[in-house]
Amino acid sequence: MRRLGVRVLTAVALAAFILPLAPVGTVAQGAPIKIGFLAPLTGPFAQIGKDMVNGTELFLDEIGRQAGGRKLELIVEDTEGNPATALNKSRKLVEQDKVHVLTGGLLANVGYALAPFIDSAQVPATYPVMAADDLTQRKPAKWIVRTGWATSQPMHPFADWVIKNTKHRKIVTIGMDYAFGYETVGGFQRVFEENGGQIVQKIWTPLNTNDFAPFLAQIKRDADGVLALFVGRLALQFMKQYQEAGLHGKLPLYGGGTTTDESVLPQMGDEALGTITALHYSQALDNPQNAKFAKAFEAKAGKISSYYSEATYTNMRWITEAIKAVGGKVEDKGALLAALRKVEIKDTARGPLSIDAFGNPVQNIYVRKVERVGGRLQNSVIATIPAVSQFYKYKPEEYMKQPLYSRDYPPCKSC
Amino acid sequence: MTRGRVVLAGAGVAALAAAIAPALSAYPLTLLTQAAIVAILAMSLDVLLGYTGLPSLGHAAYFGVAAYAVGILSTDYRRGFLVCLVAGVVLAALTAALFGLLAIRASGTYFLMITLALGMVVWGLAFRWVSMTKGDNGIAGVPRPELGLPWNLGAPLPFFYFALAAAVVAWALLGLLVRSPFGMSLLGIRESESRMRALGYNVWLHKYLAFVISGTFAGFAGVFWAYYNGFVSPVDVQLVTSVETLLMVALGGPGTLAGPALGAAVIVFLKNFVSVYTKRWLLILGAVYIGVILFAPRGVLGAFRRGPR
């Protein structure tokens, strides 16, 4: 009897596995337009993933989940922040759910991992957040349009701004030891040094750093300022320890946009005051679209909007513009891709947007300073640099002949 | 269930998978492919954990070394499948041979810690040796192998058969190994090291060889993994991959070979199907682990075997 029970159990278990594998029926005409959305919903990046989903949902709700005369259906999948999982989920979205547009994603390695798959599956895709430079530079993918930004894009004009508006010429950089850090610091260093500045020291901190004291102790005290690049928890901790080390107010602090991003800013204190960073968005940006978005997002999510939520909000708007342009006929994938590559929006929450020949937005870069307004910290915009391309003022061909910014490039000549 | 039955059942599952595969759409097929490849990795670890009694937390290292070998050779040097396969497996074996020298001296928790540390070394290399591994960005664009066969391995179905064949080969080879006199002495070492030593067996050498063989097969899995994803990144080498493999073995039943393969399949499907329906899928996975530990401490397949072994 026991044997039999076991056999039955085995059979049931087998059936349970095989059943969901059965192919699903084909979709009827006039069905909703399906949009596949990838975000890390579990693991260390889950909070940011939630912001990304909220931004997307917010825009969809605003337009009543309809565009081009058809319903829009959003299918969200969890990447766990892992490229292999992201690939699996993209296969599921494309091959099983038959999505018409694939979008989302947070980490650079996910962006690189998905690119060959997207090109071979020929599915129109957008990258709202993944910023690794080469995704739209030396290794562009035909079917991917970036609606977000390239990592070094804000840093080129930022370096120029520092040269023109301050007397600081000797800067120490400290940043997270991975590609996002290299491209941020590299972009700044290149323009800064071409305009007469000097990077006098480059410090890289491991991603799992728990104590910044040893790194802060190394900083050359005769420098004019420090450029910091941190994300999430590390940004919080760096700021705190920068103050504890007695550097706050002594060595002016500059940074990449994520260092004071609104996803961490509310948890910072006075130690963040005065930090100047550059990005293509600020929650404090003064325009009617952003006023509306920032308010609606706070009402929906119960926290202030960050660049991650704005990125996915505007990304969804970008996609709907393209859907409208093809009259809802998203089955013509080539036409949809062409439409995605032609979108131009004059009034997004982050300002006017257009797109370059390589599939990266040309957009305003904002120099922001952390101030306390009405009791809470914000990134007040102190300068706007209009219509910045990912190649800054360089010619694309010449720009791409130089190597990708890395740990050792540009080399530190003045260290 | 007796040994013969397990072999029959295993062959049956493989044949069944092969038979229903043409009826499946692309996505379930890619999951089956993934299950087949991860099953090789889990079986390779079973040689250490189940048969020799050595719980390794660094198995992703050999897996990753081979995957990186394929990634680098097939993109930067445009080498074909055979070169990549041999290079991947040999490099994994060499890594295991080197790590084995350091790790085999320890046992129990200390063995866990040493293998964990060695695994982290490989992860560090993958992450920091940017000129070779492209660091955190990973190596993208690994092409599917061209074998000069009439089937295009870029398509999901042929590639699934390819991976399934690899898994069956690995299962057969490892099966022969654990049933050989060498495998029997490994079992002896697991049960009582001192007694085996007293009987005149070279315990160190046996453990060392098991370690190297296990690493070699992990590398074999890594080769297919790189081709399957078309992408290699430090995530493949990280601790989570090692831990997950260990859990697959524990779930399926250590010391059964087919069990860990089953465990691998279960986890792949749980991860990919349950997560579609709920964000709390990790909770369900956790509940499955707890259930197995409480009700079937020797794993799913271990529970089917009667009496002490």
Per-residue pLDDT tens digits for B237-284: 988 889 889 989 988 888 888 889 999 998 888 888 777 777 777 788
Q: Does B138 touch chain A (CB under 8 A)?
A: yes
**CA–CA distance, A265 with B147 (Å, rounded to integer):** 54
The answer to whether residue B59 is domain-embedded is yes
**HEC sequence for B172-192:** HHHHHHHHCHHHHHHHHHHHC
What is the overall mean pLDDT for chain A? 90
Q: Does B33 touch chain A (CB under 8 A)?
A: no
Quote the pLDDT of residue B184: 92
Spacing of C-alpha B39 from chain mean position:
6
Q: How many domains does chain B have?
A: 1
Q: Percentage of chain A surpassing pLDDT 90?
A: 81
In this predicted structure, the answer to whether residue A20 has a pLDDT above a threshold of 50 is no
Q: Is the pLDDT higher at A339 or at B279?
A: A339
**Taking chain A, what is the end-to-end CA distance rounded to the nearest angstrom?**
79
| Radius of gyration for chain A, computed over Cα atoms and rounded to the nearest angstrom | 23
The answer to whether residue B309 is domain-embedded is no
Quote the pLDDT of residue B21: 87
Q: How far B234 CA lies from chain A's nearest CA (Å)? A: 9
The answer to whether residue B184 is domain-embedded is yes
Confidence of residue A13 (pLDDT cuts 50, 70, 90): very low
The upper half-sphere exposure of residue B96, i.e. CA atoms within 13 Å in the direction of its Cβ, equals: 31
Task: Look up the CATH number of the domain holding residue B284.
Answer: 1.10.3470
Beta pairing class for A33-39 and A101-104: parallel
Task: Yes or no: say if B63 and B219 are a contact pair by the CB < 8 Å rule.
Answer: yes
Q: Percentage of chain A surpassing pLDDT 70?
A: 93
Q: Do B229 and A92 touch (CB under 8 A)?
A: no
ipTM value > 0.95: no
A76-109, pLDDT tens digit by residue? 999 988 888 899 899 999 988 999 999 999 988 8
Q: Does B284 touch chain A (CB under 8 A)?
A: no
Q: How far B276 CA lies from chain A's nearest CA (Å)? A: 7
In this predicted structure, the answer to whether residue A16 has a pLDDT above a threshold of 60 is no
Contacts of A180 in chain B (CB under 8 A): 136
For residue B72, count CB atoms less than 10 angstroms from its CB and return exposed for 0-12, middle for 13-18, buried for 19 or more.
buried
Instruction: Read off the pLDDT of each residue in A167-177 and give the average, rounded to a whole number.
Output: 95
A44-81, pLDDT tens digit by residue? 888 899 999 999 999 999 999 999 999 999 999 999 88
Give phi and psi for A67, each to the nearest 5: -160, 145
Q: Does B239 touch chain A (CB under 8 A)?
A: no
Ordered domains of chain A (ranges, CATH): 33-151+287-359 (3.40.50.2300), 155-279+364-401 (3.40.50.2300)
Residue of chain B whose Cα is closest to the Cα of A17: B269
With a cut of 50, list the residues of chain B below it in pLDDT: 1, 307-309
Confidence of residue A22 (pLDDT cuts 50, 70, 90): very low
Task: Yes or no: say if A20 and A85 are a contact pair by the CB < 8 Å rule.
Answer: no
Give phi and psi for A134, each to the nearest 5: -70, -10
Contacts of A17 in chain B (CB under 8 A): 265, 269
Confidence of residue A23 (pLDDT cuts 50, 70, 90): very low
Residues of A with CB under 8 A from a CB of B: 6, 14, 17-18, 20-24, 41-42, 77-78, 82-85, 87-89, 91-92, 95-96, 108-109, 112-113, 115-117, 120, 132, 134, 139, 177-180, 406-407
DSSP single-letter state for residue B23: G
Closest to B26 (Cβ–Cβ): which among A78, A95, A178?
A: A95
Instruction: Read off the pLDDT of each residue in A327-331 and give the average, rounded to a whole number.
Output: 93
Confidence of residue A14 (pLDDT cuts 50, 70, 90): very low
The answer to whether residue B294 is domain-embedded is yes
The answer to whether residue B20 is domain-embedded is yes
Contacts of B35 in chain A (CB under 8 A): none
In this predicted structure, the answer to whether residue A258 has a pLDDT above a threshold of 60 is yes
Instruction: Point out the least confidently predicted range of A124-128, A217-221, A289-293, B279-283.
Output: B279-283
Quote the pLDDT of residue B2: 59
The answer to whether residue B280 is domain-embedded is yes
The answer to whether residue B168 is domain-embedded is yes
Q: Does B141 touch chain A (CB under 8 A)?
A: yes
**HEC sequence for chain A:** CHHHHHHHHHHHHHHHHHHHHCCCCCCCCCCCEEEEEEECCCCCCHHHHHHHHHHHHHHHHHCCCEECCEEEEEEEEECCCCHHHHHHHHHHHHHHCCCCEEEECCCHHHHHHHHHHHHHHCCCEEECCCCCHHHHCCCCCCCEEECCCCCCCCHHHHHHHHHHHCCCCEEEEEEECCHHHHHHHHHHHHHHHHCCCEEEEEEEECCCCCCCHHHHHHCCCCCCEEEEECCCHHHHHHHHHHHHCCCCCCCCEEEEHHHHCCCCHHHCCHHHCCCEEEECCCCCCCCHHHHHHHHHHHHHHCCCCCHHHHHHHHHHHHHHHHHHHCCCCCCCHHHHHHHHCCCCEEEECCEEEEECCCCCEEEEEEEEEEEEECCEEEEEEEEEEEEECCCCCCCHHHHHHCCCCECCECCCCCC
Quote the pLDDT of residue A194: 96
Nearest to B183 by CA among B209, B216, B161: B209
Task: Yes or no: say if B219 and B91 are a contact pair by the CB < 8 Å rule.
Answer: yes
Contacts of A91 in chain B (CB under 8 A): 26-27, 30
Contacts of B141 in chain A (CB under 8 A): 115-116
For residue B140, the surrounding DSSP H or E stretch is strand B139-140
Quote the pLDDT of residue B306: 53
Quote the pLDDT of residue A5: 44
Q: Do B140 and A87 touch (CB under 8 A)?
A: no
CA angle in degrees (0–180, nearest 5) for A117-A123-A127? 80
Contacts of A23 in chain B (CB under 8 A): 23-25, 28
- In terms of residue numbers, what domain contains B194? 3-304
The answer to whether residue B85 is domain-embedded is yes
